[in-house]
Amino acid sequence: MIVLLLLACAQVQRDESPPVNFDQVTFLSTWTQSGTVQLTNGQYEESAAPGSASKIVVELSDKIAYGKLNGKDAAAAVLVTNPGGSGTFYDLALLIKDKQGWVNKDIASLGDRVNVHAVVIKENRILVDLTAHGPEDPMCCPTRRVEYIFTVQVDTGTMKFSK
């Protein structure tokens, strides 16, 4: 896993993709009524239900990778959603730069209350190093270190999870 962290540091320096203004990207979300979120200073809020005091809060984490996917400028960012209950859900957002700018093409769930250590774009794949829940772990305390690998179809803008 240390190698993955070192690759993450080297990846940002080597690829030098244009920086993303995440507040200008409309992100896909399975948590909001509209199915999208527009961040302001890296955060979005909406009422969890009409008239409810509970809020759905979506935040951009610091786990972001830049690189090339099939020759196109790409970014992968982790969004953290608190839907107003006890869970905290992590999603991987795939962004591709096109003529109009950065577009969030797809999202993939990473899990509830996981600990994301690093995200790397390498060899046309997105690698996510995280600690997830093992079979006996309580929801508060994941202990199983894993690496998720996502292959990307840039022409369709979709990610596919593979092990």
Q: Residue 144 belongs to what domain range?
A: 2-44+56-162
Structural domain includes residue 51: no
Q: What is the dihedral of CA 8, 12, 14, 18, to 10 degrees?
A: 150
CA angle 58, 11, 114 (to 5 degrees): 35
Within 70-127, residue ranges assigned H as helices are none
Q: For the segment 109-153, what is each residue's pLDDT rounded down to a tens digit?
A: 999 999 999 999 999 999 999 999 999 999 889 999 999 999 988
Structural domain includes residue 150: yes
If you count them, how many residues does the chain have?
Answer: 163
Q: For the segment 46-97, what is each residue's pLDDT rounded down to a tens digit?
A: 998 888 889 999 999 999 999 999 899 999 999 999 998 889 999 999 999 9
Q: What pTM, to 2 d.p., does this model score?
A: 0.85
pLDDT at 3 over 70: no
Structural domain includes residue 49: no
Number of domains the chain contains: 1
pLDDT of residue 163: 52
